Structures are given as C-alpha cells and as structure tokens.
Amino acid sequence: PYVVCEPCINCKYTDCVEVCPVDCFYEGPNFLAIHPDECIDCNACVPTCPVEAIYPDDEVPEEWQHYIEWNRYLAEQWKAMGYNITEKKGPLPDAEEWRNRPKSEKDILT
C-alpha cells in the first residue's frame, strides 16, 4: 500500500483524495492517512500531492518509516469515526507557511 508521510502535516492539500479509485483516504484535523488494506497500489495519488508526501511502502524514506504504521493506526481510527474523505477541499489556512518547516508525527492531531 501507499503511505502518507510527514510533509502532509499541517498542509493537507487534499488533491490526493480526488483521484483515488477506491476512496481509501481518511481525514484527521491536520493530516490524512491511507488505509493499507484498501489501497490498490495504483499510484494515482502520488503526482497530485504538491508536497510529495505520498510513497509506496517499500520506498518510504528511512526517516519516515514509522508513518507506515501510523497510516494504519490513524486510518482505522478515522474510519471508525466516519471520516472518509473523497472530495478535494482547500488546504489548511497555514499550509504555505508550514510547507518547508520541520514537523514530526507528534504534530499530528487526532
């Protein structure tokens, strides 16, 4: 499956959700997660993300390996809450400011 990594945090452009053929993105306050059991590895979402946050699980950069498990955990939580997202909406208000700032998984709001 594909994995949403750190650059998405506090940006959440949501371009990715529109192209997903199986609607497997789940939304939290400042991050999206892909449900690994639903993703069909089509690669459609990768080029749509303005901050290059999405990777196939076998190409996730070393420093972001923990996002593989985070996607599963968060997607399951948010799925249970009914937070499936399939339509693009505006990015978070401070997305441009956050774009090149250091962030970490601790910044993810649930």
Positions touching ligand SF4 (CB under 6 A) are 2, 19-22, 24, 34, 39-45
* One-letter-per-residue 3-state SS of the chain: CEEECHHHCCCCCCHHHHHCCCCCEEECCCCEEECCCCCCCCCCCHHHCCCCCEEEHHHCCHHHCCHHHHHHHHHHHHHHCCCECCCCCCCCCCHHHHCCCCCCHHHCCC
Among 3, 16, 33, 108, binds ligand F3S (CB under 6 A): 16
Bridging pattern class, strands 2-4 and 25-27: unpaired
Does residue 54 bind ligand F3S (CB under 6 A)?
yes
Closest contact distance (angstroms) between CB of 21 and ligand F3S is 15
**Residue selected from 1, 15, 68, 76 as contacting ligand F3S according to rule CB under 6 A:** 15
| 74 is a contact residue toward ligand F3S (CB under 6 A) | no
Q: Which does 49 bind (CB under 5 to 8 A by kind): ligand F3S, ligand SF4, none?
A: ligand F3S
Which residues would be at the binding site for ligand F3S (CB under 6 A)?
A: 4, 8, 11-16, 32, 48-49, 51, 53-54
